[in-house]
A and B are shown apart, each in its own frame.
Chain A
Amino acid sequence: MQYMVPEFEVERNTSRCISCGACVRQCSYEVHYFDVDGKTVLADESKCVACHRCATICPTHAIKIKAYDMAYKPHANWTPVVQQEILKQAQTGGVLLSGMSNNKPYPIYWDRILLNASQVTNPSIDPLREPMEIRTYLGRKPKKLEFHKNGKLKTKLEPQIKLETPIMFSAMSFGSISFNAQKSLAMAARKLGTLFNTGEGGMHPGLREYSDCAVVQVASGRFGVYKDYLENCRFIEIKIGQGAKPGIGGHLPGEKVTVEVSNARMIPEGSDAISPAPHHDIYSIEDLRQLIWSLKEATQYKKPVAVKIAAVHNCSAIVSGVARAGADIVVMDGFRGGTGAAPTRIRDNVGIPIELALAAADQRLRDESIRGTVSLVAAGSFRNSADIVKAIALGADAVYVASAPLIAMGCHMCQQCQTGKCNWGIATQRPELVKRLNPEIMHERVVNLITAWNHEIKEMLGGMGLNSIDSLRGNRMMLRGIGLSDRELSILGIAHAGE
């Protein structure tokens, strides 16, 4: 007997259903099927994950996915979700797995922070009429600049990364997402003048032509890391942790390790790709320093090296250590960051919000007078341009986004990435599903999204009377908290609204 009740219900408007069978052929979870008459479409609701592929593709909008309306005796503690999870574990004996990001209603500080605007005493700027600079440079900055008498720069600059927008695409490995999804991001990054990130799964040969807008990751599994990989990028990122699952490594199930994935990762086909929880050669900041400088040496000091850590309890001290270890860019990934698969308990309970981690780290680096030596990149769920503007005012040089572009490409947050059955062709390696994501279309949608965000960022900057994103960076005077405690305000380093 199945103890679990279905989560969703498929409502088919039979007066509109034309039995074209698009839903039947499109559902990788095999929810929809034809009755023996070959005309009536039926549904096995227990398999539905609410990815909305059927409802979206249905030419007559005859399908509606609804929550399965099962009444439970109300209990504030033993909610239906809690009971369902217990039933699932009682049945399988396994660790609960989920995709995407933290699903618990923790406070979202972005929604408790307000932005400033100019009135009377300093004029606001209209970005449609006046130049507005959102170009961003990442990399280690010199403490001071010296010039020759002829005005030429004397100080030797470390390699800098020029971005036309402070928005980059976060690491999503080939394996966790499809080649087409990665290619869409790469194409979009090139058009937008920003970077995409290969993730820890090596680089597919088909993406080599996009190496001028690639960030390559070196993670604990060291999948696909070799000389050419390190040289074909704009910067190298050492992944220590991931916001969605701090403290554990990635696990790509063998089913997703196809020939292509196995080639890119340099592992046998069909074998589980398990990234160890730690880097087994990094047990201290000193060890990390060795890896950072090894990578710099390997690339003739031409590539900046970034270190990505998950936002955890004492992350500001860690960021300071990482900066001193020689990282040019420090990436912090908050607990709302996404993943292709993580144990649900870890996803939902480990780590801290990026808002607090970012503010604390920026403040710590400033207190230690080393803020200028590194670029800070924030990651972990930026839902819109306002979140990004707030992050930059809290001290980020740039941000990483991934979930938002995935949504632009069709993701409906069904959180089943770990099953490899993604109906949108994103988190899957099955050829019949991968081809559903046409990079020609999808890169345009991602470009549209980020272009729209760029416009909005410029509008908000103009409203604040700023004409450059550099004037906003770490400018917490532009932020006010609303409904926050004194403690929260002091960690964020901002005043309350009205102050």
Chain B
Amino acid sequence: MKKVIAREALCLDCKLCEVFCRTAHSKSKDVVRAHLYEDPAPVARITVEGDILDSVAVNCRHCDDPACVNACITGAMHKDPETGIVSCDESRCIGCMTCLAVCPVGCIKPGRTAVKCDLCQETGEPACVKNCPNRALVYVEVGGDAQ
């Protein structure tokens, strides 16, 4: 499957990936409205860790054997057998955050329900990759178990 790969040597710590992730997952899809006026405020699914010298954007690895899916008590968290994308069915999620506790990379964000990267399925290319000014994020085929 295609995954977002972060190349830390090129990460600028600008955090535009976070900004555009929030925007892509907002109601308005407008960068200013999403950040200033929307309630609840959209949550960034990707986080830049580190500082200006060494930083890297971390987001869901869409693991082959996802701990979050195994741990989910309602079956909300699921891995699409075709695309391999791990996503949270918000209609079934009760916000217990067991997934957050077991995620080995810390990529599930708390909210009313669990919030996580969905690789921007609707638009094709993830917003973080599309808007990274230095191509530190790339969306590439990495193999894995999805067909």
- Contact B135 A18, beta carbon cutoff 8 Å: no
- Contact A441 B135, beta carbon cutoff 8 Å: yes
Chain B proximity of A478: nearest CB distance (Å): 42
Q: How far is the CA of A54 from the CA of B44 in the complex (A)?
A: 22
Query: Size of chain A's interface in residues, with CB distance under 8 A?
Result: 19
Q: Given contacts A16-B32, A18-B35, A438-B10, are A432 and B52 in contact (CB under 8 A)?
A: yes
Of B11-19, B73-81, B83-91, B95-103, the one contacting chain A is B11-19
Of A20-28, A86-94, A261-269, A480-488, the one contacting chain B is A20-28
- Contact A438 B134, beta carbon cutoff 8 Å: yes
- Contact B16 A441, beta carbon cutoff 8 Å: no
Q: How far is the CA of A436 from the CA of B19 in the complex (A)?
A: 18
**CB-CB contacts below 8 Å: A462-478 with B:** none
Partner of A60 from B15, B18, B31, B134 at Cβ < 8 Å:
B31
Q: Which residues of A contact B9 (CB under 8 A)?
A: 435
Cβ of B36 within 8 Å of any chain A Cβ, yes or no, is yes
- Contact B135 A25, beta carbon cutoff 8 Å: no
Cβ of A440 within 8 Å of any chain B Cβ, yes or no, is yes
- Contact A60 B32, beta carbon cutoff 8 Å: yes
Q: Which residues of A contact B19 (CB under 8 A)?
A: 18, 20, 22, 59
Q: Which residues of A contact B11 (CB under 8 A)?
A: 435
Q: Which residues of B contact A18 (CB under 8 A)?
A: 19, 31-32, 35-36
- Contact B36 A22, beta carbon cutoff 8 Å: no
**CB-CB contacts below 8 Å: A417-455 with B:** 431-432, 435-436, 438, 440-441
- Contact B53 A59, beta carbon cutoff 8 Å: no
Q: From DSSP, what is the main secondary structure of chain A's interface residues?
A: loop
Interface size range on B against A: 20 to 34
Query: CB-CB contacts of A190-211 with B at 8 A, as 1s and 0s?
Result: 0000000000000000000000
**CB-CB contacts below 8 Å: B112-147 with A:** 131, 133-136
Q: Which residues of B contact A15 (CB under 8 A)?
A: 32
Q: Which residues of B contact A59 (CB under 8 A)?
A: 16, 19-20, 31, 131
- Contact A57 B13, beta carbon cutoff 8 Å: no
Q: Which residue of A lies closest to B53 (CB)?
A: A432
- Contact A22 B15, beta carbon cutoff 8 Å: yes
Partner of B15 from A21, A431, A432, A436 at Cβ < 8 Å:
A21
Q: Which residues of A contact B135 (CB under 8 A)?
A: 438, 440-441
Query: CB-CB contacts of A49-71 with B at 8 A, as 1s and 0s?
Result: 00000000101100000000000
A interface residue numbers (CB < 8 A to B): 15-16, 18-22, 25-26, 57, 59-60, 431-432, 435-436, 438, 440-441
Q: List 13 A-B contacts (CB under 8 A).
A: A18-B35, A19-B35, A20-B19, A21-B15, A22-B15, A22-B19, A25-B12, A59-B16, A59-B19, A60-B31, A432-B53, A438-B135, A438-B136
Q: Which 9 A-B pairs have the closest CB atoms?
A: A18-B35, A22-B14, A59-B19, A438-B134, A432-B52, A20-B19, A432-B53, A25-B13, A60-B32
Could you list 16 further interchain pairs (A-B, Cβ under 8 angstroms) beyond the known A22-B16, A57-B16, A436-B134?
A20-B16, A22-B15, A22-B19, A57-B14, A57-B133, A59-B16, A59-B19, A59-B31, A60-B31, A60-B32, A435-B11, A435-B134, A436-B12, A438-B136, A440-B135, A441-B135
